[in-house]
């Protein structure tokens, strides 16, 4: 009977042995001289090669022109009587935070008032600041908590800003660099989650304490109101607003997908008796809106996963439940966004991966809805809502229709176009089709294909598949501004694959790609690839794949499991060493998605696909293009570095470029983004044409 225990011990010893044999682990030292020498040499070789490709300069110029264009949509964030906007162009490389009156904005009179110039601040401080957002003091918004990142990392400095004086407060609230957060409870009180010192951060690198900080006192003397565990993903404080009421909320995430929700009220903690894997979508008219990720049985009644519910909040705080169903998606739909105005609830649905927007009203204890008659067969995104009125903004786009921003009124259910992008390519030459491929287990996997109307199915079309397949993230149609010029106009076919692991069809679609079911995600990608080949749209010689972050893992697995299918792979800010992912930066927080490689039973299924461990000599791998960022403090750049070093050591040719700033987003400026696009498309055209 001791045999299983002995076997598990041997597996554990074998894991340790494998980790010790990693001769490229030194590349995990992000800023060591030896690591950066490796990076600079790789960058130089890749840029020298790709910048000489015939299309490089034209793609760079067009991409930069689009990014710097004054015809871009100026996205509004409603705050009181103003809209706020963060803007980058050729004159503002790092961007400016500005505002104008909401009434002026909706009437086309954009008299912008610059509040903060990040370029000027960067020069003054001699730091490459990246603006990461801000939170404001309701309802006046005369004070902001500005988040600034050094080089684009997730860790931020938080500084209090006086909007009227357009300057940081000399003795205002200020929090040192950390992966933390802060928000106003009132003018003189913050709720703070940050690095308070030794023992106050989790193994994932996030806060595990929440404190109340009063103006005029030291942060170290702030009042501790809640503490999670260091093995949690993290614990954060925040606020929930319902009209002029403000509730102090706490979220303790024990894993990436399970969060205990608590309210700090009357100097005590109240735990909300709702499922830990549900998401809170808002608070409206004393109704707490949540979405279930698994079935929930209350008083012999079962509410199914994916459903949107509301609970009377006052009763919930007192341990009682009155539950109303808002909407239950069917097997072909899911809820992509939920947001509240003053009196209405906006629910953005996905049906067969295209958007439908609804306005819900809560009257006489029941929810009723009206559909917003926005354009069909594309993607609707909620841009901003106003908590003090029923005004809101949304946008519509599809692959070949330029993005249009609409100003809308939820009370009247009306909307009108506010601003549209220009056409960056001739859409009349192209058409969008949706197909379904049958995966290995028989599941039908949808994908969009965008190609020239006169495309010939002769197996020679350069074809790029983009996919993600994780974390319940849905990949939806988007306007192909840069892709249109750099890919479609050069004879390329573009494919967006809605594989399992995403959220396109609700929680189950995601759960069918998690942990031990992750091979489904990869099989779905192969099914789409083989369907395109069977239709003679393309062939392996002309087929490429691209993915970033979790999508980088996807394409890393794909070229190691099925090198016969692809001739080009763009692997961006990837996870690749799945034996050590939970030891690097925020990696421990993702074990809810992938499993724990330190548990033998879970490593058993992870090791079957982990790209770094599954590299073999003598294979016909494509020449992969890896990209990452030195300042990425979410997915460690060591993943991509080590993969390249190991492949090169085995004799495989690769391309590698590591931006020295930019964080997980990859780029901090429009110039860096244009350079990344030029390299990427030059590589794809070189390999697939």
Residues classed as catalytic? 549, 664
Cβ-contact 609, 518 below 8 angstroms: yes
| 498/483 Cα distance (integer angstroms) | 19
Half-sphere exposure of 673 (CA within 13 A, CB side): 18
CA distances to 94, 403, 673 from 121, rounded to whole Å, are 10, 32, 21
- 175: Cβ–Cβ under 8 A, 6 or more apart, which residues? 157, 158, 159, 182, 192, 194, 219
Work out whether the CA dihedral 514, 516, 522, 526 comes out positive or negative.
negative
- 379: Cβ–Cβ under 8 A, 6 or more apart, which residues? 354, 355, 396, 397, 398, 476, 477, 478
Question: Biggest alpha carbon distance in the chain?
Answer: 79
- 124: Cβ–Cβ under 8 A, 6 or more apart, which residues? none
Query: Which H helix or E strand runs over 592?
Result: helix 591-594
DSSP letters along 547-576, please? EETHHHHHHHHHHHH-TTS-SEEEEES---
Cβ-contact 64, 412 below 8 angstroms: no
Query: Which H helix or E strand runs over 407?
Result: strand 401-409
Cβ-contact 511, 435 below 8 angstroms: no
| 480/626 Cα distance (integer angstroms) | 23
Decide: helix, strand or coil at residue 412: coil
Backbone phi, psi, residue 633, to 5°: -105, 20
Cβ-contact 613, 581 below 8 angstroms: no
Beta strand 493-497 pairing with 543-548: unpaired
Burial 522-546 (b: 16+ CB within 10 A, else e): bbbbbbbbbbbbeeebbbbebbbbb
Q: How many Cβ atoms sit within 10 Å of the Cβ of residue 75?
A: 16
Cβ-contact 479, 402 below 8 angstroms: yes
- 588: Cβ–Cβ under 8 A, 6 or more apart, which residues? 202, 203, 204, 205, 233, 582
What are the structure tokens assigned to 185, written together? Answer: 């409870």
What are the structure tokens assigned to 651, written together? Answer: 């004799």
Q: DSSP letter at 633? A: S
Cβ-contact 463, 538 below 8 angstroms: yes
Cβ-contact 97, 133 below 8 angstroms: no
Look up tokens 């921003």; give the residue: 405
**Strand segments (E) across 518-636:** 543-548, 568-572, 625-629
């Amino acid at each position: 009977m001791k045999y299983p225990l002995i076997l598990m011990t041997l597996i554990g010893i074998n894991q340790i042995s494998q980790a010790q044999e990693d001769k490229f682990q030194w590349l995990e030292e992000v800023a060591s001289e030896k690591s950066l020498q490796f990076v600079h040499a790789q960058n130089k070789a890749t840029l020298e090669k790709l910048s000489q490709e015939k299309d490089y300069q034209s793609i760079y110029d067009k991409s930069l022109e689009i990014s710097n264009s004054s015809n871009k949509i100026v996205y509004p964030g409603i705050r009181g009587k103003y809209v706020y906007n963060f803007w980058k162009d050729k004159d503002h490389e790092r961007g400016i935070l500005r505002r104008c009156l909401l009434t002026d904005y909706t009437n086309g009179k954009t008299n912008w008032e610059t509040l903060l110039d990040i370029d000027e601040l960067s020069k003054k401080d001699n730091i490459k600041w990246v603006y990461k957002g801000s939170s404001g003091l309701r309802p006046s918004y005369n004070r902001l908590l500005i988040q600034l990142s050094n080089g684009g990392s997730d860790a931020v400095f938080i500084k209090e800003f006086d909007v009227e004086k357009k300057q940081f407060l000399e003795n205002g609230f200020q929090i040192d660099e950390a992966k933390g957060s802060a928000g106003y409870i009132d003018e003189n009180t913050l709720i703070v989650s940050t690095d308070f010192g030794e023992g106050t951060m989790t193994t994932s690198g996030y806060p595990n304490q929440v404190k109340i900080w009063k103006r005029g006192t030291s942060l170290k003397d702030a009042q501790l109101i809640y503490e999670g565990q260091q093995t949690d993903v993290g614990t954060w404080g925040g606020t929930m607003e319902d009209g002029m009421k403000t509730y102090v909320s706490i979220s303790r995430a024990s894993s990436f997908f399970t969060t205990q929700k608590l309210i700090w009220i009357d100097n005590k903690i109240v735990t909300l008796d709702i499922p830990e894997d549900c998401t809170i979508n808002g608070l409206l008219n004393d109704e707490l809106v949540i979405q279930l990720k698994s079935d929930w049985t209350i008083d012999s009644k079962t509410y199914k996963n994916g459903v949107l519910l509301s609970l009377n909040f006052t009763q919930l705080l007192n341990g009682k439940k009155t539950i109303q169903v808002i909407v239950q998606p069917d097997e072909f739909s899911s809820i992509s966004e939920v947001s509240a105005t003053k009196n209405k609830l906006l629910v953005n649905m996905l049906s067969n991966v295209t958007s439908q927007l609804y306005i819900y009203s809560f009257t006489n204890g029941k929810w009723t809805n009206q559909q917003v008659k926005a354009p069909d067969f594309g993607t609707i995104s909620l841009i901003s809502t106003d908590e003090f009125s029923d005004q809101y903004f949304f946008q519509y786009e599809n692959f070949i229709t330029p993005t249009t921003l609409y100003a809308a009124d939820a009370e009247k259910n009306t909307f009108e176009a506010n601003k549209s992008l220009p056409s960056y390519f001739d859409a009349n030459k192209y058409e969008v089709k949706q197909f379904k491929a049958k995966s290995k287990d028989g599941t039908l996997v949808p994908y969009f294909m965008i190609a020239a109307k006169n495309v010939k199915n002769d197996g020679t079309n350069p074809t790029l598949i983009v996919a993600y397949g994780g974390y319940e993230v849905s990949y939806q149609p988007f306007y192909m501004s840069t892709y249109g010029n750099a890919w479609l106009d050069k004879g390329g076919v573009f494919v967006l694959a809605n594989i399992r692991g995403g959220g396109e069809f609700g929680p189950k679609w995601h759960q069918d790609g998690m942990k031990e079911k992750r091979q489904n995600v990869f099989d779905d990608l192969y099914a789409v690839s083989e369907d395109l080949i069977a239709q003679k749209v393309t062939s392996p010689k002309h087929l490429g794949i691209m993915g970033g972050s979790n999508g980088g893992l996807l394409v890393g697995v794909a070229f190691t499991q099925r090198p016969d299918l692809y001739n080009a792979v763009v692997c961006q800010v990837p996870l690749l060493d799945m034996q050590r992912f939970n030891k690097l930066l925020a990696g421990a927080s993702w074990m809810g998605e992938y499993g724990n490689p330190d548990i033998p039973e879970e490593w058993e299924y992870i090791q079957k696909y982990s790209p770094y461990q599954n590299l073999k000599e003598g294979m016909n791998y494509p020449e992969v293009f890896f990209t990452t960022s030195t300042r990425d403090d979410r997915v460690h750049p060591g993943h991509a570095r080590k993969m390249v070093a190991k492949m090169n050591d085995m004799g495989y040719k690769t391309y590698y470029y590591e931006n020295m700033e930019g964080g997980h987003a990859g780029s901090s400026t429009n110039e860096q983004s244009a350079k990344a696009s030029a390299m990427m498309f030059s590589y794809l055209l070189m390999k697939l044409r």
